[in-house]
């Protein structure tokens, strides 16, 4: 099995639902373990699916939806063949309209919940990404964000300040500015760390200042906390004990 075939199979794979040891998933997952590019793609897809799934689970069921769907089903077989396609495609049409509405709502500037933000930020750095600036030090990076009017009055944990800095990204999420500080060791993605900074007012359900909130998202470990007007999210492939060393 080559990587192209593995990608086609993994596009249908559902972590936590499908058996990873069952064919053909076992072979495709093994290919992802030996192909770094395929592994990054799988991480990105898994994180993206998790974010979308969380968003769909949050969406309230429209009042009377079940009744309207059942009303579209024929009570008895009809001999008017030309009417069948309309009945058959009614649910599909409804789903298409619902999907279009979901996409429109998802991308309009608005406040969002913390779980969606965390999932989408993890998806952003799970695969290939491009930094907006390569900065040799945090002061230069802060100037870059301030010049763009992105969050710049943030506080980096002292232990994290000593970690090698690569650069940063100025990201927009639902109309809100997110400063992304990228740390890492050259040629070793397993040690990459990303600090996301956003105005805490942009999110619902943000962690309190009482302490850190850890969560595993796909293959990334995330830690979140609030301080002042900002919400901080640190993510990386390291486990929780390792991540704690930089906080």
**CA-closest candidate to residue 188, choices 36, 38, 45:** 36
| Architecture of the structural domain at 112-244 | 3-Layer(aba) Sandwich (3.40)
pTM beyond 0.85: the answer is no
Q: What mean pLDDT do residues 196-209 have?
A: 87
Least confident of 7-11, 14-18, 109-113: 109-113
Q: What mean pLDDT do residues 219-225 have?
A: 94
**CA-closest candidate to residue 169, choices 191, 150, 156, 155:** 150
| Whole-number percent of the chain with pLDDT over 70 | 73
Provide Rg for the chain, Cα atoms.
Answer: 22
pLDDT at position 104:
44
Mean pLDDT of the chain: 79
| Residue 90 scores a pLDDT above 70 | no
For residue 63, name the pLDDT band (cuts at 50, 70, 90).
Answer: low
* Residue 115 neighbours by CB distance under 10 Å: 19
Give the residue extent of every domain in the chain: 3-57, 64-74+81-107, 112-244
Which distant-in-sequence residues (6+ apart) come within 8 Å of 5 by Cβ? 28
Taking the C-alpha atoms of residue 202 and residue 110, their distance in angstroms, rounded to an integer, is 8
Taking the C-alpha atoms of residue 165 and residue 167, their distance in angstroms, rounded to an integer, is 6
The tens digit of pLDDT for each residue in 143-169 reads: 999 999 999 999 999 999 999 999 999
Q: Report how far apart, in Å, the C-alpha atoms of 187 and of each of 36, 85, 125, 129, 192 are.
A: 12, 56, 16, 15, 10
């Amino acid at each position: 099995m080559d990587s192209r075939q593995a990608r086609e199979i993994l596009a249908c794979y559902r972590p936590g639902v499908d058996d990873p040891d069952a064919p053909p998933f076992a072979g495709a997952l093994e290919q992802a373990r030996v192909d770094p590019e395929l592994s990054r793609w799988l991480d990105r897809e898994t994180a993206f699916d998790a974010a979308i799934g969380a968003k769909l689970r949050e969406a309230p069921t429209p009042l009377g939806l079940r009744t309207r769907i059942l009303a579209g089903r024929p009570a008895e077989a009809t001999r008017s063949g030309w009417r069948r396609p309309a009945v058959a495609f009614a649910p599909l049409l409804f789903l298409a309209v619902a999907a279009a509405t979901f996409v429109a709502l998802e991308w309009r500037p608005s406040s969002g919940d913390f779980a969606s933000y965390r999932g989408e930020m993890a998806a952003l750095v799970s695969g290939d990404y491009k930094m907006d600036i390569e900065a040799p030090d945090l002061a230069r990076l802060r100037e870059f964000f301030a010049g763009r009017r992105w969050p710049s009055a943030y506080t980096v944990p002292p232990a994290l300040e000593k970690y090698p800095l690569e650069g940063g990204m100025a990201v927009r999420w639902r109309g809100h500015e997110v400063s992304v500080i990228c740390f890492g060791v050259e040629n070793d993605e397993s040690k990459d760390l990303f600090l996301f900074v956003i105005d805490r007012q942009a999110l619902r359900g943000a962690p309190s200042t009482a302490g850190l909130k850890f969560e595993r998202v796909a293959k990334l470990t995330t830690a979140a906390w609030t301080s002042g007007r900002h919400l901080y999210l640190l993510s990386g492939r390291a486990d929780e004990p390792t991540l704690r060393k930089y906080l």
